[in-house]
Amino acid sequence: MRLFFCLLALLGSMLATAAPTPGQFSQVTGSWGSNPTNTGFYIYVPKNLASKPGIIVAIHYCTGTAQAYYQSTPYAQLAEQYGFIVIYPSSPYSGTCWDVSSQAALTHNGGGDSNSIANMVTWTTSQYNADTSKVFVTGSSSGAMMTNVMAATYPELFNAAVVYSGVAAGCFYSASGQADAWNSTCAQGNVDATPQAWASIVKNMYPGYSGSRPRMQIYHGSIDTTLYPENYNETCKEWAGVFGYTYTAPQQVETNTPQSQYTTTIWGSNLHGIFATGVGHTVPVNGARDMQWFGFA
The amino acid at residue 176 is: S
Sheet holding 135-140, edge to edge: 25-27, 40-44, 85-90, 55-59, 135-140, 160-164, 215-221, 271-276, 262-268, 252-254
Contacts of 48 (CB under 8 A, 6+ apart): 80, 81, 83
Among 290, 295, 296, smallest CA distance to 140 is for: 290
Which one is catalytic: 116, 141, 142, 165?
141
Strands 160-164, 252-254: parallel, antiparallel or unpaired by DSSP?
unpaired
**Contact (Cβ atoms closer than 8 angstroms) between residue 170 and residue 206:** no
HEC string for 235-292: HHHHHHHHHCCCCCCCCEEECCCCCCCEEEEEEECCEEEEEECCCCCCCCCCHHHHHH
Among 51, 49, 58, smallest CA distance to 131 is for: 51
Q: Give dist(CA 171, CA 154) in Å, integer.
A: 17
141 is catalytic: yes
**Contact (Cβ atoms closer than 8 angstroms) between residue 198 and residue 237:** yes
Active site residues: 141
